[in-house]
């Protein structure tokens, strides 16, 4: 079987950049590293904790099909996707090590080394479901990351949130590359005959659970960190977070994925991507000196 024959060539393949961020240097990070914002600090910590195991699972899901991908364009895009997700995992692990040292126990709960018992358990669960379902989970997760990425990179209000500069550098770079590879897993899914019904049903279930599960994760993170036990402040800042530019309207932007025939490229992010390519990696790009 030849996979991906009918996929249109794209201008550029996702490029793998071997980044090296310098967290806590030269100044140590402050505990609530999004300037004194407790829930947002914990939301970013929970996401950062979840990224490495999540992204490693995405890579495994796509690799399950790699032997069948013969189309050279799709092959290169898959290689770029795998390389980018691997570096994301490495760099979030570097941040997570800092966060664990700073006293964020929930990040430790997510952190397991390759080959550890929890990783083996996760792989067992992944292998219990058909590989198309595993890949469909990756494709929907990529819709979440690219939607969030477009918000982070496209909103001045979000960019203006004061926080640790190196954490922002990491998030902007990660967001940028999520946009670069946003349709790769989806195209592998579609090219391998992935069912529209399975794709949409999985998203419908995930959609309903997103806000409750993420809110519970953030609440658990705050409860596990005595330095965040400021109930009135947490309540006030949580309301601001739900009504603010990161969360408000996010779920509405996720919804189009449930339309039959949807493709990630239906959301045009080309101009945003080009703007940030110059900003981060152009001739005077802010992150050129972070490429190892
Ligand atoms: Fe990623
Ligand atoms: Fe991704």
How far apart are the CA of 33 and the centre of ligand 1, in A?
21
pLDDT of the residue at 12: 66
Q: What is the pLDDT of residues 3-22, one digit of tens each?
A: 444 444 444 689 999 999 99
pLDDT of the residue at 9: 41
Contact by Cβ (8 Å): 290, 19: yes
Q: What percent of the chain is predicted at pLDDT more than 90?
A: 89
pLDDT of the residue at 110: 81
Nearest ligand to the C-alpha atom of residue 89: 1
Q: What is the pLDDT of residues 22-43, one digit of tens each?
A: 999 888 999 999 988 999 999 9
pLDDT of the residue at 91: 98
pLDDT of the residue at 230: 97
b (16+ CB within 10 A) / e for 121-140: ebeeebeeeebbbbbbbbbb
Q: What is the pLDDT of residues 227-237, one digit of tens each?
A: 999 999 999 99
pLDDT of the residue at 115: 79
- When pLDDT is averaged across residues 184-204 and rounded to a whole number, the result is 97
Q: Answer yes or no: is pLDDT of 281 > 90.
A: yes
Nearest ligand to the C-alpha atom of residue 88: 1
pLDDT of the residue at 170: 98
Q: Answer yes or no: is pLDDT of 291 > 80.
A: yes
- When pLDDT is averaged across residues 156-172 and rounded to a whole number, the result is 97
What average pLDDT does the structure give for the chain? 94
Q: Answer yes or no: is pLDDT of 256 > 90.
A: yes
How far apart are the CA of 232 and the centre of ligand 1, in A?
34
How far apart are the CA of 236 and the centre of ligand 1, in A?
31
Q: How far are the Cα atoms of 104, 136, 138, 177 from residue 15, in angstroms, in the given order?
A: 32, 23, 19, 8
How far apart are the CA of 174 and the centre of ligand 1, in A?
6
Q: What is the pLDDT of residues 97-147, one digit of tens each?
A: 999 999 999 999 888 777 789 899 999 999 999 999 999 999 999 999 999
Q: What is the pLDDT of residues 62-82, one digit of tens each?
A: 999 999 998 999 999 999 999
Nearest ligand to the C-alpha atom of residue 81: 2
How far apart are the CA of 229 and the centre of ligand 1, in A?
31
Secondary element (H or E) of residue 6? none
- When pLDDT is averaged across residues 164-191 and rounded to a whole number, the result is 97
Q: What is the pTM of this model?
A: 0.94
What are 34's strand-pairing partners?
Answer: 163
Integer Cα distance of 43 and 106 in angstroms? 11
How far apart are the CA of 7 and the centre of ligand 1, in A?
23
How far apart are the CA of 140 and the centre of ligand 1, in A?
13
**Cis omega (within 30 of 0) on the bond before 26?**
yes
């Amino acid at each position: 079987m030849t996979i991906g024959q009918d996929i249109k060539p794209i201008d550029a393949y996702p490029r793998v950049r071997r980044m090296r961020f310098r967290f806590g240097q030269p100044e140590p990070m402050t505990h609530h590293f999004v300037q004194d914002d407790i829930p947002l600090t914990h939301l970013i910590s929970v996401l950062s904790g979840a990224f490495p195991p999540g992204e490693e699972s995405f890579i495994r899901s796509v690799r399950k099909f790699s032997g069948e991908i013969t189309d050279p364009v799709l092959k290169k895009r898959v290689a770029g996707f795998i390389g980018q997700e691997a570096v994301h995992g490495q760099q979030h692990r570097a941040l997570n090590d800092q966060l664990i040292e700073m006293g964020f126990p929930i990040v430790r709960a997510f952190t397991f080394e390759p080959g550890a018992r929890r990783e083996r358990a996760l792989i067992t669960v992944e292998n219990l479901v058909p590989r198309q379902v595993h890949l469909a989970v990756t494709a929907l997760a990529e819709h979440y990351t690219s939607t969030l990425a477009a918000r982070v990179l496209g909103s001045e209000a979000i960019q203006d949130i004061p926080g640790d500069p190196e954490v922002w550098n990491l998030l902007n770079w990660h967001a940028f590359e999520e946009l670069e590879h946003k349709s790769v897993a989806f195209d592998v899914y579609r090219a391998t005959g992935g069912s529209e019904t399975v794709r949409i049903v999985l998203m419908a279930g995930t959609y309903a659970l997103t806000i409750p599960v993420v809110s519970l994760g953030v609440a658990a993170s705050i409860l596990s960190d005595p330095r965040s036990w400021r109930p009135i402040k947490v309540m006030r800042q949580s309301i601001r977070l739900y009504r603010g530019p990161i969360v408000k309207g996010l779920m509405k932007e996720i919804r189009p994925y449930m339309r039959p025939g949807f493709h990630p490229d239906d959301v045009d992010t080309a101009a945003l991507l080009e703007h940030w390519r110059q900003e981060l990696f152009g001739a005077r790009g802010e992150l050129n000196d972070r490429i190892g």
